[in-house]
Amino acid sequence: MPHRLKLTRNAQFFTIKNGVGAEQAVTAVLEAASQNMVAGSEYLVDAYRQAAVVPQTDVPFSFSVRVFKSDREVYFWSGNDVELRDIIYSFIIVVEIRGFIVVLKKSCANISPAVEANFDSVDSDVLNASFEDSKVDFQKISIRNMTISDRALRARSYEAADLKGLLSSHAAGRSIPYFLKIRDGDNIKTISASSGRIVEAADRSSISEIAVWINQQVDLLSNPTQDKDFLRSFAKQAILSAVLAATRPNALLIEAATLYDRIILGGLELRYKRKDGSISELSRKRQQVIFRFLEKVYDVNVQNVIEAAPKGSRLRVNEKSITFISKPLQRVRLLSQGKEISLQKYIIKHGLYSISFMDPKYMYFMGRCYEDAAGTSEIGSILNILHPLQNIGAATSEKGTISATHGSFDAGSVFGVVENTHRNDDWIFCDDLGVEWADHITLSKVDPCITFIHSKHADSTSTSASKLHDVVGQGIKNLGNMYFTKEAFEKKYNEKFVTNYSRDNVASAIARVRKRMPMPNIGDYIQDILADYRVVRKCVLACSFISKAEIAREFGRMAAGKAVRGNITQLFWILSSFAHAAKEYNVIPIVYCQP
């Protein structure tokens, strides 16, 4: 009865792994897909590797089909007296054609382990080369930023009638396109590079008609185009084995913020498997300890040992993938879709980790290795955003002492240094604490400028990436607020800036308007500066703990291809992420630092 099937053009494209037999691979996927089949029921269709020919061609192919009744747990129901299960009909189709394996499915059990064991996904470069850039309209693109900062923007989507000519290519070299929606004539197609999936809008089709469409896609995949003027500027997929031959991993970052959202906000239960095999609940306090452990950036040594992590933690480097081993994460278990898996397996399965290399132009994301099209050529421009201040290195705190008698911030604090640096601006506002856009906001009409300043202090000079995480995250998060309206600023002025600064329940005499123009109405000033076409916006990070000379020395070693510590590579990515994020908003990025 396969002729009864009416299918959408929604398929994943794979190739069989070397050394794996086609019969073994297809069988494994079919068996995995039907694991949720209702016990005691029979297949409506069960066809195995039936030979056929693509209509109106001499192209042979074979197909396997299973259609069956499946069930799944009703997650909103509890109680043993009455068990509820959703009963639905599922199917899986596996097409073997011209060296490709193509899978179409609906409502099956999880086939990912069987797919990963037997198939290779079609590379994103091959998928993206299946059409000519100049002949299609890019209607949507989703990109993943090459950043290890858990406070930075990681993913963005753009939509337009045609993004060519509209989407700036600035910083595209550090962006991985993982989803495309294109119009090719009358056809609208989406491509999900991370899963090897191609979807095309069309009426439902028979298996024979689907075979025609699949054969057309294989033609495109087998004859990649060179017309890539638009996509060429984005990061490209790299062959991991070639990367490993030229460089080695030097740091690992678990994407703890995303993991936290998935687990806590998704309501997944966390448990702990003891050495005796018993399972116990994890308290919220213990969970927080685990997430703090995961938030760190961990250096990886030449033996692939993860340093400063529990004994036995290491990277597992294979020819086509890099994973990791952590005994504590193996013991932490979570319930996902009714099944218990280790936290380590969950992180690896969902690609919630990234790996940097000694050569910073490479990064490992989402189970694949990518090459930054810009690479270390950015080092010069990144160093240019570092602006040394002679007195910032003498700062002993971020805000200094706060008391009822204080009318200004201590001169030896970062806040004091910032206010002195901007003493010639027209207005200086302290927006720290509460609903803040920045620690300081300054306005000037002489060279029309709106400046947001975010401050961070540490007691000693350091190239630690983790110390820069928070302040970069604050800066990036508030870039959109730099395009405030007159009404929004007046509201902040009247509700916050008319008050004095207070901290830790201590009300000081420090006015939040640190400097003012002799104008009767702040609204008039804001209206004038926003109307000035010459106005520029600057996002400043005031960091007392970094030295431009020290960073320039380490980045110089990196540019020369010399070995650097993992934190230097991470520092490069964080500063680069800040610079690119700011420039995308047409904001000038600046970092105040020591000489």
- What does the DSSP assignment read for 240-285? HHHHHHH--EEEEEE-HHHHHIIIIITT-EEEEE-TTS-EEEPPHH
Q: Tell whether 150 is covered by a domain.
A: yes
Q: In 12-136, where does DSSP find H-type helix?
A: 22-33, 112-118, 124-128
Q: Among the three residues 208, 230, 252, which one is the final residue of a domain in this structure?
A: 230
Q: Tell whether 503 is covered by a domain.
A: yes
Q: How far apart are CA 358 and CA 248, in angstroms?
A: 6
Query: Are residues 476 and 560 located together in one domain of the fold?
Result: yes
The domain tally of the chain equals 3
Residue 288 has a pLDDT of 81
192 burial type by CB count under 10 A (0-12 exposed, 13-18 middle, 19+ buried): middle
Query: Are residues 421 and 333 located together in one domain of the fold?
Result: no
Residue 169 has a pLDDT of 59
Residue 253 has a pLDDT of 85
Query: Do residues 389 and 593 touch, judged by C-beta distance below 8 A?
Result: yes
Residue 28 has a pLDDT of 94
Query: Are residues 249 and 186 located together in one domain of the fold?
Result: no
Query: Which domain does 334 fall in, by range?
Result: 240-373
Query: Do residues 402 and 506 touch, judged by C-beta distance below 8 A?
Result: yes
Residue 258 has a pLDDT of 75
Query: Are residues 402 and 358 located together in one domain of the fold?
Result: no
Q: How far apart are CA 32 and CA 16, in angstroms?
A: 17
Q: Tell whether 235 is covered by a domain.
A: no
Q: Tell whether 545 is covered by a domain.
A: yes
Which whole-number Å values give the CA distances from 393 to 115, 475, 550, 554, in the listed order?
A: 55, 21, 13, 19
pTM over 0.75: no
Report strand pairing: 269-273 vs 427-430. unpaired
Q: Tell whether 332 is covered by a domain.
A: yes
Query: Are residues 298 and 398 located together in one domain of the fold?
Result: no
Q: Tell whether 287 is covered by a domain.
A: yes
Rg (CA), the chain: 28
Q: Among the three residues 316, 344, 373, which one is the final residue of a domain in this structure?
A: 373
Residue 51 has a pLDDT of 94
The continuous run of DSSP H or E covering 536 comes out as strand 536-547
Q: Tell whether 125 is covered by a domain.
A: yes
Query: Are residues 301 and 326 located together in one domain of the fold?
Result: yes
Query: Are residues 289 and 348 located together in one domain of the fold?
Result: yes
Query: Do residues 193 and 127 touch, judged by C-beta distance below 8 A?
Result: yes
DSSP state letters, 456-504: E--SS----HHHHHHHHHHHHHTTGGGG--HHHHHHHIIIIITSEEEET
Residue 439 has a pLDDT of 93
Q: Which two tokens stand for residue 16?
A: 């069989």
Query: Are residues 59 and 24 located together in one domain of the fold?
Result: yes
Query: Do residues 70 and 91 touch, judged by C-beta distance below 8 A?
Result: no
Residue 569 has a pLDDT of 78
Query: Are residues 399 and 298 located together in one domain of the fold?
Result: no
Query: Are residues 226 and 267 located together in one domain of the fold?
Result: no
Residue 80 has a pLDDT of 66
461 burial type by CB count under 10 A (0-12 exposed, 13-18 middle, 19+ buried): middle
Query: Are residues 244 and 275 located together in one domain of the fold?
Result: yes
| Sheet strands (E) in 326-484 | 332-336, 339-342, 353-357, 362-365, 368-371, 386-388, 427-430, 440-444, 449-456
Successive 10-residue mean pLDDT values, the chain, 595 residues: 85 91 93 90 93 93 94 71 81 95 92 87 82 89 71 74 73 79 91 86 92 94 82 82 90 81 74 78 81 84 90 88 90 73 86 84 83 70 88 87 85 91 93 91 93 88 70 88 93 90 83 83 90 93 90 85 76 83 87 92
Query: Do residues 105 and 93 touch, judged by C-beta distance below 8 A?
Result: yes
Q: Tell whether 132 is covered by a domain.
A: yes
Query: Are residues 150 and 112 located together in one domain of the fold?
Result: yes
Q: Among the three residues 210, 230, 250, which one is the final residue of a domain in this structure?
A: 230
